[in-house]
Amino acid sequence: MLLDDDPAQSDRTRDALTASQLYYLQDLTMEAIAQELHTSRSSVSRLLSHARATGLVDIQIRSPLDAPSRLEQEIQARYGVTAHVVPVSDRANDVDRLERVALSVARILGQYFDSNMIMGIAWGSTMSAISRHITPKPTHNSQIVQLNGAGNMSTTGLGYASEILGRFGNAFGAHVQQFPVPAFFDDPLTRQALWRERSMARLIEMQGRMDVALFGLGSPFSEVPSHVYAGGYLDPDDFDALNRDGVVGDVATVFFRADGSTGGIPLNERGTGPDFAVLQRTPRRICVVSGNSKLPSLRGALCADLITDLFLDEGTARALVATP
Amino acid sequence: MLLDDDPAQSDRTRDALTASQLYYLQDLTMEAIAQELHTSRSSVSRLLSHARATGLVDIQIRSPLDAPSRLEQEIQARYGVTAHVVPVSDRANDVDRLERVALSVARILGQYFDSNMIMGIAWGSTMSAISRHITPKPTHNSQIVQLNGAGNMSTTGLGYASEILGRFGNAFGAHVQQFPVPAFFDDPLTRQALWRERSMARLIEMQGRMDVALFGLGSPFSEVPSHVYAGGYLDPDDFDALNRDGVVGDVATVFFRADGSTGGIPLNERGTGPDFAVLQRTPRRICVVSGNSKLPSLRGALCADLITDLFLDEGTARALVATP
DNA sequence: TCACTCCTTGCACGTATGTGCAATCCGACT
DNA sequence: AGTCGGATTGCACATACGTGCAAGGAGTGA
């Protein structure tokens, strides 16, 4: 839980609050604050870090009412999505890009999620990176729901995915709905059967009611394969099949082609991600992408109308608009 | 005007935006940002200052949903106003207190004012201090309206007060309505006559529609007399009269007694401030107080139900609740 | 074109801030 | 009571940051 029920923490929080007011609203130096609080300057430094990390201090950047960058305008015009281009040095490698885009998203995610909302989230390296940096924001009666199963041949998936889920839930004080199924069933019939279970039906119903969906993109045939493709969720036969079917990527382990279509891809019959129709009904659909290698996948996702808000690094944004 | 229409400024703003994202969202050092922006570290430092000063970067402090301090709760319970206690060292003098409370208010004022609103503001040392530090916030179609005249025997008041007004208007990109009359007429009839003028009527009508009122408190009989009492607006006879009438303070040059009453105070017939009934109809009435010497005045203003939101320094807050 | 002014830049310096480390405090369990 | 582990503190150092100053640049008017 996020709230400090611990009375010992309460003092710390109160001090952090005071320190923040003195530092950010009155421009005192940490030295001066230390005196007022009867502690050492370094403790004040730590208090302030704590205040920022817990979301007590909230730093927002507001583009002067409009003035989206040329790139953002261009993307808006061509694809009808609100783009947020994250400035990243051109010579940063893909890992850095991912990390920096994720960090930026983590810091402003609170602007999209509030009390009484349901947020669906996928899992994967992008989501993992985001989860590690979210600035907390207290909410009431809100829920985080997992979009797709995460088990594979070797584990039930309750480690990796639930760690991500947990961090989101924790940061927002939200209730977490896990999805304790494998990413792919061996037999489509198992899925059909399980989906009729009331516990599963309830969860899927909840996915249908979500207010925000947050996801990265998978891209099977790129140099940097995403988690799904490296984690033992698929075997070589599956891969070949995807290739034959013309798949360019996936969202929450639902595969799609360059034109955004998902029909006739057998693997989807065994997968556990939400039907794209469900996503399309979600009011806000936030996609986080970094690295040129995900471009084909991104194009497909845009065709499929999966995205309302797109976060991507500058290089990828440029590449996206560089084609006719 | 606040908006950068100047295309030269546009570059600077864009850079400031990028720098802010890199600094506040991605935790890069200024050194690193300097490299990405092909400039020097010190320029980045200046860019970031600029970004904060222009409200491009907005730092908010959110009390964890509730957890108002004991003092704030106590004041809320006893007087029914939302209190915001500004932490200030106990051994700060009155000037420092005023400055620090004003700074705090200036930084968060934007949370109370938005597009399409009308804000009425008084003038005086408190308002002046606030005006010098407001963090800008762009708004549309909003208005700042002066609550009371500011002329006196020696000047028309278009210097001091309009400077304050101007800074508010500038910070919010709001249209400014000045009130070009003296603080007090010599003859009540002059006021009556002038109030019938259409230009004045329009202004007074606008005061009646304001969404926010912002004011400090005057306290005639304290060690630190406020601007009204030191600036040559009143002569010794007036002072004696106020004393006899049991006046403890004023809001926008409208005087009141300890019980909040204003009736039967002759000077009010000649003054130009808004009738308290007008203030009481205003949805949000923000009062800024600092220094124990204003306590009697504050008590009166509370009795008069002039305040919905009260900002005051810690020491004054303690003194306020220290009485039965 | 030149001279003048105002604004911006980078440098250099001093101050302010972040953080590894050892000492200390605190609570818990034996 | 004793002792153990984890968290918190202050110190000291390294780094990051803000700012006066002089140099450079852009614009203006003669």
Range A132-148 average pLDDT: 93
Weakest-pLDDT range from A2-11, B152-161, B295-304 = A2-11
A62 within domain boundaries:
no
Q: Which chain A residues are within 8 Å of B108, Cβ to Cβ?
A: 25
CA closest to B37 among chain A residues: A89
A317 pLDDT higher than 50: yes
* Residue B243 to chain A, least CA–CA distance (Å): 37
Question: Are residues A49 and A82 located together in one domain of the fold?
Answer: no
Residue with tokens 């430092």: B45
CB proximity A278 to B under 8 Å: no
CB proximity B31 to A under 8 Å: no
Say whether the CB atom of B43 is under 7 angstroms from strand C.
yes
* DSSP label at residue A55: T
B60 within domain boundaries:
no
The B residues from 64 to 123 touching A (CB cutoff 8 Å) are 64-65, 67, 69, 86-87, 89, 100, 103-104, 107-108
**Ramachandran region, residue B158 (left: φ > 0; alpha: ψ -120 to 50; beta: rest):** alpha
Question: Are residues B38 and B119 located together in one domain of the fold?
Answer: no
B61 within domain boundaries:
no
pLDDT at A152: 66
Both structure tokens of A278: 């469900």
B65 within domain boundaries:
no
Q: Which residues span the domain enclosing B162?
A: 70-322
pLDDT at A65: 57
Q: Would strands A309-313 and A82-86 be described as parallel, antiparallel, or unpaired? A: parallel
Question: Are residues B180 and B113 located together in one domain of the fold?
Answer: yes
pLDDT band at A155; cut points 50, 70, 90: low
H or E element at residue B130: helix B125-131
Residue A208 CA: distances (Å) to CA of A166, A196, B290: 21, 16, 53
H or E element at residue A177: strand A175-177
A228 pLDDT higher than 80: no
The B residues from 243 to 272 touching A (CB cutoff 8 Å) are none
Question: Are residues B78 and B196 located together in one domain of the fold?
Answer: yes
A63 within domain boundaries:
no
With b for 16 or more beta-carbon neighbours within 10 A and e for fewer, the A141-164 pattern comes to: ebbbbbbbbbbbeeeebeebbbeb
CB proximity A25 to B under 8 Å: yes
Question: Are residues B16 and B79 located together in one domain of the fold?
Answer: no
A4 pLDDT higher than 70: no
What are B200-245's pLDDT values in tens digits?
899 999 999 999 999 999 987 766 555 556 666 777 788 888 888 9
Range B148-166 average pLDDT: 75
Question: Are residues A223 and A158 located together in one domain of the fold?
Answer: yes
Residue with tokens 């004023």: B250
Question: Are residues B87 and B221 located together in one domain of the fold?
Answer: yes
For residue A39, with 0-12 CB atoms within 10 Å meaning exposed, 13-18 middle and 19 or more buried, which class applies? middle
- What is the rounded distance in angstroms from the CA atom of residue B8 to the CA atom of residue A187? 64
B63 within domain boundaries:
no
Q: What are phi and psi of B133, to 5 degrees?
A: -130, 5
Question: Are residues B274 and B204 located together in one domain of the fold?
Answer: yes
A64 within domain boundaries:
no
What are A246-261's pLDDT values in tens digits?
899 999 999 999 999 9
% of chain B with per-residue pLDDT over 90: 62
Question: Are residues B14 and B157 located together in one domain of the fold?
Answer: no
What are A262-284's pLDDT values in tens digits?
988 989 999 999 999 999 999 99
Range A143-165 average pLDDT: 78
Mean pLDDT value across chain B: 88
Check residues A146 and A93 and name the one with the higher pLDDT: A146
The Å distance, CA of A85 to C1' of C9, is 28
Contact A59, B58 (CB under 8 A): yes
pLDDT band at A180; cut points 50, 70, 90: confident
Range B117-125 average pLDDT: 94
What are A14-35's pLDDT values in tens digits?
889 999 999 999 999 999 999 8
Question: Are residues A74 and A48 located together in one domain of the fold?
Answer: no
A223 pLDDT higher than 70: no
pLDDT band at A160; cut points 50, 70, 90: confident
A221 within domain boundaries:
yes
Question: Are residues A28 and A82 located together in one domain of the fold?
Answer: no
pLDDT at B222: 67
pLDDT band at A131; cut points 50, 70, 90: very high
pLDDT at A202: 92
Mean pLDDT value across chain A: 88
Say whether the CB atom of B40 is under 7 angstroms from strand C.
yes
* Residue B62 to chain A, least CA–CA distance (Å): 6
Both structure tokens of B212: 């926010």
- What is the rounded distance in angstroms from the CA atom of residue A276 to the CA atom of residue A262? 8
Weakest-pLDDT range from A35-39, A154-158, B263-267 = A154-158
Range B162-167 average pLDDT: 89
- The CA-based angle B107-A84-A69, given to 5 degrees, is 85
- What is the rounded distance in angstroms from the CA atom of residue B124 to the CA atom of residue B215? 9
Angle between helices A314-321 and A70-79 in degrees, nearest 10: 50
pLDDT at A159: 64
Q: Which CATH number does the domain housing residue A7 bear?
A: 1.10.10
With b for 16 or more beta-carbon neighbours within 10 A and e for fewer, the B39-51 pattern comes to: eeeebbebbbebb
Question: Are residues A130 and A223 located together in one domain of the fold?
Answer: yes
Say yes or no for a CB contact (<8 Å) between B25 and A107: yes
For residue B275, with 0-12 CB atoms within 10 Å meaning exposed, 13-18 middle and 19 or more buried, which class applies? middle
- What is the rounded distance in angstroms from the CA atom of residue A152 to the CA atom of residue B57? 44
A63 pLDDT higher than 90: no
Q: Bridge partners of A175?
A: A143
Contact A161, A146 (CB under 8 A): yes
Question: pTM for the full model?
Answer: 0.84
Check residues A121 and A240 and name the one with the higher pLDDT: A121
pLDDT at A3: 40
Contact A148, A123 (CB under 8 A): yes
Domain total in chain B: 2
Range A44-55 average pLDDT: 90
pLDDT at A153: 56
pLDDT at A176: 93
Q: Which CATH number does the domain housing residue B208 bear?
A: 3.40.50.1360
- Give me the DSSP letters along A205-265: HHHHT-SEEEE--B-TTSSS--HHHHTTSS-HHHHHHHHHTTEEEEETTEEEETTS--TT-
